[in-house]
Each structure stands twice: as structure tokens, then as C-alpha cells.
């Protein structure tokens, strides 16, 4: 009962999301690829890293804010692109974007969001970021970038670790995008039907439940399966660093390359594209299982690029303490994915804003007890051992 009344931690929101969402949707958020070893290690890596506690320092005035791309963020964390978010709460991308704006951090809209670029722009006043996949249909990719630019998006997050789709076994077991027997379909339907809150909030929410940014690409789609088929068919395994010159030529704003896990790739990114930012990311453990945790890969990548670009990190961040650890290991800021998706599913816009407030409070404690009053003071010496 206390959890339902007053969720606090990301794990609290996760449990509420598990209760509210149909199993198929919860496992889509919660799961990873294959045996989910990398998914677990992303979280475990933060637990292995210990903070160096310091005492008797003046920490009476702590500032958790930071400046990224000339914008002031209340904490060094933004909301990562999360596909399908409008299936977790009514018009979920809009609710999350409004929460991020109200709190004071950026929101990133996924290519495969339920709400379109235009819908999110109409509902908010702060600029949000847009995420784009590597897709074969260059004409449509160009059109998406143009729409994002016209909507005022200052940053394009270009995801490069989706040359092929990783095998997500939970999704296969739950019948997502695979043929199911009549018995299995009935079981899935019964699971959806018993989630009364979700039915009222999402299924009966009024507006169409489709991929808002892809309506023009698949105008005759009769369900998510046909949208998903278009996306799968348009992933481009032939794309190389040279092709990113085309992205640079067609995007007038800042470019952040998401999915870098190797120091050599980070150096190539700087040589070939010189992006304004890179995201150390293994797609939340949803692509190649058995890769290092992002926190473990971060220091070498930071060393490879130095101060030539902004380095962001995602994967496994579940608290404000984790944000402090990421900054200590070399990140300028973090991207939160599952954390906000769970909060959205549990409590909508209010849940996302409350979760961000909790992370800020946790950062405040961590900074105070490691002897720091500014994010810029956090460094390798913040880590014990």
C-alpha cells in the first residue's frame, strides 16, 4: 500500500509500472537482448563503483546544475529517446516532455514515438531533441530532419547501433511482432483486458495509437506490426562513417551520435563527423548482449576524445548517486531511459517530474557527502580506491 501511495525510487516506479501495464508492454520496457547479461551489468557497474566520502567541508550551498550546449540544466541528465512511450501512458511523449520542461532538463523524442514531432512541439514551449535511426529511405530521413528543425529541435540524436535488431527474447515469448496461435492471442488479450487503469488511460485515450512520425511513410498501416515491419526493413546495415557526412549536410543543428562503445570508434567519429556530442550507449542492453557496461566503457572513450566533444552516458542509471558516479568517470551528463519510462507508466507527467526531483535530491546528498558544491568539481578523486 505504501508503495502505491508514495513511490520514491526508480525501483518503486518500476514495480508500479509492472502492476499497471500489460505484460507485453512492461517486458518491452524492462527487457534486454538474449540472456540480458549486459542489461544487468549496466546497473551492477554503478553498484561496483564506490564514492569517496569526505567530511568537514563547507557544503552549505550546493548547485546540481550544469551547462550543456549553452543551455542550463537543473541536473546533468536529460530524458533519453524511448520508443513506444505513448503506450505506457496517454500521449506519453507529451507528458514526459512537459515534465522535463517544467523540471528544467531536455526531452528527446524517439523516431518511433506514439506522439509526432508536431504534437510534442504544440504541447511544449522549451526546445526538445529529436532522435533519428539509420534508415535506408534517405528521403524520409531528410523529411524527418526537416520537420524536427522546423519544430525548433536544436539537437539531432543519431542512433548508430541499430544496423540490425538484437534478439529480445521476452518480446518473442510475449508474441510481439511474431505469429501467435489462437490460444496465445487469447491469453495476451486477457492480460491486456485485466489492466483496467491502462485500458482507461491509454487504449481509450482518444487519439490514434500509432507511430506519429511515420504516418506519412506507412499511410495505410493497419497496426503496429506494419509500422514495425517498415522500420525493420529500413534499417541500413551498409551505412558507414562516410554516410554521416550526408546527415551533417542535411541537419543544420547540433549532432549527437548515440551508440558509441569503443574508444577507436569515438576517435573515428571525431575525425569523420566531429559531432557536438557522443553518447556512450549499448542501447540499454537491448542490442548486443555480452558487451561491457557503459560505465565501464566510459573512461577510455573520454580519454580518446578529451574535451573535443560533449560526452553523454546512458544505461543503468537508477539514482542521483549514479549520475554523480557517471560524471566522476568522465561523462558531462547522462541520458535517462527506463527511469522515466517506469515513472511515466506509474504516474504520468507528475511521476516523471517527481522522479527527476528525487534524482536531484539524491545528487545533493551525494555531492554534500563527497565534499562537492558544484558539478564541475566532481572528478576521478570522487571515486574511492
Q: Given strand 155-159, what is the order of strands in its sheet? A: 77-79, 333-336, 310-314, 277-280, 254-260, 155-159, 129-133, 108-109
The label of the residue with cell 552516458 reads: 313
Q: Which of 149, 197, 283, 372 is flagged as catalytic?
A: 283
| 3-state SS, residue 342 | helix
Q: What is the CA angle 290-76-99, rounded to 5?
A: 100
Q: Clarify whether 372 is annotated catalytic.
A: no
Cβ burial 102-111 (10 Å sphere, 16+ → b, else e): ebebbbbbbb
Sign of CA dihedral 12, 14, 17, 19: negative
Residue appearing with cell numbers 505513448: 86
Retrieve residue 113's grid coordinates: 514515438
- Residue 170: strand, helix, or coil: helix
Strands 71-73 and 66-68: antiparallel
The number of C-alpha atoms within 13 Å of 49 and in the hemisphere containing its C-beta is 27
CA distances to 91, 118, 224, 231, 367 from 209, rounded to whole Å, are 9, 15, 9, 16, 42
Phi and psi at 257, nearest 5°, equal -95, 120
Do residues 372 and 61 make contact, with C-beta atoms less than 8 angstroms apart? no
Q: How far is CA 261 from CA 160, 295, 337, in A?
A: 11, 10, 17
Which sign, positive or negative, has the C-alpha torsion 6, 206, 109, 314? positive
Q: Which residues are catalytic?
A: 283
Amino acid at each position: 500500500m505504501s508503495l502505491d501511495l508514495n513511490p520514491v525510487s526508480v525501483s518503486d516506479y518500476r514495480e508500479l509500472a509492472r502492476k499497471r501495464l500489460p505484460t507485453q508492454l512492461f517486458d518491452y520496457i524492462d527487457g534486454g537482448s538474449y540472456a540480458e547479461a549486459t542489461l544487468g551489468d549496466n546497473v551492477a557497474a554503478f553498484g561496483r563503483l564506490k564514492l569517496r566520502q569526505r567530511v568537514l567541508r563547507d557544503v552549505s550551498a550546493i548547485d546540481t546544475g550544469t551547462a550543456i550546449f549553452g543551455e542550463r540544466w537543473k541536473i546533468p541528465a536529460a530524458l533519453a529517446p524511448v520508443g513506444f512511450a505513448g503506450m505506457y501512458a496517454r500521449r506519453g511523449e507529451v507528458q514526459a516532455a512537459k515534465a522535463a520542461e517544467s523540471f528544467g532538463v531536455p526531452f528527446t523524442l524517439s523516431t518511433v514515438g506514439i506522439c509526432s514531432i508536431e504534437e510534442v512541439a504544440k504541447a511544449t514551449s522549451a526546445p526538445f531533441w529529436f532522435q533519428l535511426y539509420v534508415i535506408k529511405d534517405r528521403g524520409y530521413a531528410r523529411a524527418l530532419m526537416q520537420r524536427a528543425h522546423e519544430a525548433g529541435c536544436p539537437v539531432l540524436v543519431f542512433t548508430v547501433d541499430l544496423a540490425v535488431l538484437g534478439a529480445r527474447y521476452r518480446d518473442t515469448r510475449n508474441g510481439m511482432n511474431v505469429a501467435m496461435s489462437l490460444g496465445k492471442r487469447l491469453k495476451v488479450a486477457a492480460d491486456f483486458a485485466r489492466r483496467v487503469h491502462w485500458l482507461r488511460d491509454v487504449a481509450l485515450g482518444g487519439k490514434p495509437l500509432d507511430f506519429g512520425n511515420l504516418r506519412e511513410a506507412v499511410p495505410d498501416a493497419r497496426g503496429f506490426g506494419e509500422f514495425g515491419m517498415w522500420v525493420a526493413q529500413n534499417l541500413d546495415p551498409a551505412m558507414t562513417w562516410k554516410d554521416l557526412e550526408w546527415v551533417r549536410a542535411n541537419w543544420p543543428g547540433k549532432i549527437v551520435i548515440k551508440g558509441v562503445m569503443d574508444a577507436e570508434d569515438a576517435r573515428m567519429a571525431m575525425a569523420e563527423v566531429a559531432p557536438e556530442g557522443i553518447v556512450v550507449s549499448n542501447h540499454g542492453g537491448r542490442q548486443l548482449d555480452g558487451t561491457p557496461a557503459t560505465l565501464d566503457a566510459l573512461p577510455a572513450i573520454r580519454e580518446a576524445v578529451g574535451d573535443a566533444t560533449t560526452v553523454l552516458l546512458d544505461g543503468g542509471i537508477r539514482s542521483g548517486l549514479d549520475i554523480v558516479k557517471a560524471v566522476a568517470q568522465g561523462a558531462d551528463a547522462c541520458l535517462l531511459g527506463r527511469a522515466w519510462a517506469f515513472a511515466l507508466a506509474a504516474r504520468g507527467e507528475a511521476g516523471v517530474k517527481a522522479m527527476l526531483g528525487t534524482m536531484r535530491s539524491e545528487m545533493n546528498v551525494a555531492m554534500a557527502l563527497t565534499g562537492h558544491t558544484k558539478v564541475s568539481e566532481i572528478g576521478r578523486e570522487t571515486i574511492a580506491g
